[in-house]
Amino acid sequence: MSLQLWLVLVGLTAALFLAACSRSPAPGGIAPTPIPEDATPEMLSRGESLYQANCQSCHGGATGGTMMTIPPPHNANGHTWHHPDCQLTDVVLNGSGEMGEMMRRMMPAPEGTPRMPVFKGTLTEEDIRAILGYIKTWWTEAQRQSQARATEQLC
């Protein structure tokens, strides 16, 4: 391939990438879901009870923690919002797997730090949807929009 053609291709790819990243929620574009579209007050309060019973002891609440804390906080200080809904649901159903290993290498977990349990058989996908909806109320608007775009693109 000639150098010119190669440069054109690289330029085009970069332009496409930038266009994809700056896609705005304008009419016709992706409308980011602030909190799940169908989140009703009942769903969020169910999510809150489920979270308090099953998750809070390890992951904490609406405030505290940092990006490097393990178990990771699910609030705006953590990195839960970096992951699309399908990945979050998979971790809750099946445990953290390879992603958990990577996390524990990056943020050295002290001896005896518990692992993310498997909730398949305990929680339904609907339960998890309610929990995620509740967690999303802790994020900033920008975090919610970014996570909604990732969900739209990757799930």
Nearer to ligand HEC, 55 or 148 (CB): 55
Angle at 119 between CA 114 and CA 125, to 5 degrees: 140
Contact status: 129 vs ligand HEC (CB under 6 A): no
CA pair distance 47, 126, nearest whole angstrom: 10
CB of 148 to ligand HEC, least distance (A): 15
Using a 10 angstrom Cβ sphere, with 0-12 exposed, 13-18 middle and 19 or more buried, the burial of residue 11 is exposed
Q: Which of 30, 44, 58, 150 binds ligand HEC (CB under 6 A)?
A: 58
Tokens of 153: 């693109």
Options 6-14, 22-30, 31-39, 97-105: segment touching ligand HEC (CB under 6 A): 97-105
- Residue 39's contacts (CB-CB under 8 Å, 6 or more residues apart) are 133
Is the bond preceding residue 72 a cis peptide, omega within 30 degrees?
no
Positive or negative CA dihedral for 112, 122, 43, 153?
positive
Contacting ligand HEC within 62-81 (CB under 6 A):
70-72, 74, 78-80
Task: Specify the stretch interacting with ligand HEC by CB under 6 A; choose among 40-48, 61-69, 89-97, 144-152.
Answer: 89-97
Q: Which stretch binds ligand HEC (CB under 6 A): 6-14, 98-106, 136-144, 145-153?
A: 98-106
| Residue 137 interacting with ligand HEC (CB under 6 A) | no
Residues interacting with ligand HEC, by CB under 6 A?
A: 54-55, 57-59, 70-72, 74, 78-80, 83, 88, 91-92, 96, 100, 103-104, 113-117, 119, 123, 131
